[in-house]
Each structure stands twice: as C-alpha cells, then as structure tokens.
Amino acid sequence: MKTHQLSWEDSEYTAVLAPLEDGIVQCSIQNNGTEAAHLFLLTGGLVGLVDIEIKDDFSPPDGLLLIVGRIVVEHRRAVREGRTLI
C-alpha cells in the first residue's frame, strides 16, 4: 500500500496518509510514533468529508488541533482541485 507522510517544521506531529477504497484516505496523526488522532478523509465529487477520532478528546493539545485543522483545510483544497492528498 502506498503511503505518504506529511510533516511540519513548527510541530512535533506527523501525519501518515494511506489510500483505502472508494475515494477514502486514512490518516494517522502521530507524535513520536504514537497515534494521537485518526482521520478518514472522504471524497465524493466536489464534497470532502472528514471523520475524526482524537485519543484524548476531552482536552486535546493545541498543537494537535492545529494539525487536524491544517489537514482538513488541505483536504478541502485538494477535493476542490479534483485530487487527493496522496
């Protein structure tokens, strides 16, 4: 399975993306190799949906929320341009 890794200079988080079936991309957000959040990025035509599971959803760190936001924005941009993040 082809995977793609996203990382940011200002964050300790990385995201590992892997394609699934039917326009679904699985995204694991990790901090030092430990999963902190899991997303499913869904694409249907020009619609981009996101299903999010955050491990500590009662009080997630600000850095994690920032990365989730970045991924959601990039996913939406990719969908509008007719592509995926991979």
pLDDT in tens, 18-35: 998 888 889 999 998 899
pLDDT, residue 14, reads 93
- Whether the Cβ atoms of residue 38 and residue 30 lie closer than 8 Å to each other: no
Percent pLDDT > 90 in the chain is 24
Domain residue spans in the chain? Answer: 4-80
Per-residue pLDDT band at 15 (split at 50, 70, 90)? very high
pLDDT, residue 47, reads 63
Express the helix, strand and coil content of the chain in percent, nearest 5 each.
Answer: 20, 45, 35
Global pTM value: 0.83
- Whether the Cβ atoms of residue 30 and residue 14 lie closer than 8 Å to each other: yes
